[in-house]
Amino acid sequence: MSTKKEQIDQLITYIIQGIEDVKGNQIEIIDLRDIENTVCDYFIVCSGNSNTQVDAIESSVRKVVSKALQDKPWHVEGLENSQWVLMDYVDVVVHIFQKQVREYYDIESLWGDAKITSIESNY
């Protein structure tokens, strides 16, 4: 039986794989565990270049996580316009932005006290 931390680490690994599989970029992991009153343990933030790519990232993350962990998001919103899609896996929330929307909301700066890890893309 794996611990909750191991389960979350696996989930993060597969979410990132799903993002990278369709060339999502600017991937960052925001660790919220040391901040009081947060809704989850981690945010994973990434960017897509178009509505089509944002949709593809959401679909890829859903498929990779489902296949590997038999898990699905508790809630997904934003698919109507695909400018900012949020996937809630309870302990991990994925934010998939189009570049200009990500710059506008700049959620990384809202969590300035959090540890932020940037993931280098292989493309």
pTM given for the model? 0.94
Going from N- to C-terminal start, the domains of the chain cover 4-108
Class of domain 4-108: alpha beta
User: Cα separation of 88 and 43, whole Å?
Assistant: 9
User: Apex CA 54: angle with CA 40 and CA 56, to 5°?
Assistant: 105
What digits encode the pLDDT tens for the residues 30-85? 999 999 888 899 999 999 999 999 999 999 999 999 999 999 999 999 999 999 99
**By the 8 A CB rule, do 107 and 84 touch?**
no
In 6-104, beta strands by DSSP E: 25-31, 42-48, 75-77, 84-88, 92-98
